[in-house]
Amino acid sequence: MTDRPYVILNAAVSIDGYLDTSAPPRLALSNAADFDRVDEIRAHSDAIMVGARTVRFDNPRLLVRSEERRGRRRADGLTSSPWKVTVTASGDLDPSSAFFTAGDTKKLVYCPQSEVRRIRNRLGDLASVVGLGSEVTVTDLLSDLNDRGVRTLLVEGGGTVLTQFLASDSVDELQLAIAPFFVGDRKAPRLIGDGDFPWTPERHARLAETRHVGDMVLVRYALSERCVAATAAEGEDLTIRSLSVRAF
């Protein structure tokens, strides 16, 4: 599927592959350098997506933090931060959460068509609620975002959403920032759940870059030919440059 946004999956994980602990408070995995790295990616994206569980439990603001980067976006005629996107089957979303109240950008909530009226009544004019069939698929969601003009989508979690995107083979690049410690809690949320993934012992994901980000290590994989072609067109070594369509 090429008529979709360029999709970047980004996550910070422990050495043993966890996104958090099983109990509050939320575990801080990223360091200052990694937060700044992600902020730069956000500034070059058209939309940022998280799942409804992330909205409920992490209450992310999903805004560009740097004033210089916000100013750069405004100078380009954009909102200070990218659009915010989430997906829900139940509609269990708090209208007072930062997803809806923080920032001057557009908010999109995708849900099954049968839930549209109820969720619209709950959220009012805080977000545009979009129904997509009997259940929301990654393919339909990306098609709708593409039709709305989204060209670069940054997906930040959580594990269920990351798993669905990877299993659908709809990702161009995967960025993993690995924190230098273990969680060791089998009840904690993991980076990826069960799924039928395109990358197997017979078909490897292509390693594109590794580098230090403070005391973390960033591992980047090229998961589509579009990603590889964007780099090859500039005649650069895939292993030493940022893979995103725009220069970070």
> Tell me, what's the pLDDT at 172?
97
**Does residue 85 belong to any structural domain of this protein?**
yes
224 assigned to some structural domain: yes
Specify whether the CB–CB gap between 88 and 58 falls below 8 A. no
Positions in the chain short of pLDDT 50: 234-235, 237-248
Q: Is 81 inside a domain boundary?
A: yes
Question: What's the confidence (pLDDT) of residue 2?
Answer: 64
The answer to whether position 245 is within a domain reads no
Distances (CA, A) of 72 to 43, 75, 133, 244: 8, 5, 37, 18
Q: What is the pLDDT of residue 231?
A: 57
Instruction: Look up the domain containing 69 and give its range.
Output: 6-240
Q: How many CA atoms lie within 13 A of 145 on its CB side?
A: 34
Question: What is the full DSSP assignment across 209-229?
Answer: EEEEETTEEEEEEE-SHHHHH
246 located within any domain = no
34 falls within a domain:
yes
Asked if the structure places residue 101 within a domain, the reply is yes
pLDDT of residue 232: 63
pLDDT digit string (tens) for 101-150?
999 999 999 999 999 999 999 999 999 999 999 999 999 999 999 999 99
Give me the number of domains the chain comprises. Answer: 1
Of the candidates 133, 25, 1, 145, the residue with the CA atom closest to the CA atom of residue 86 = 145
The CATH number of the domain holding residue 165 is: 3.40.430.10
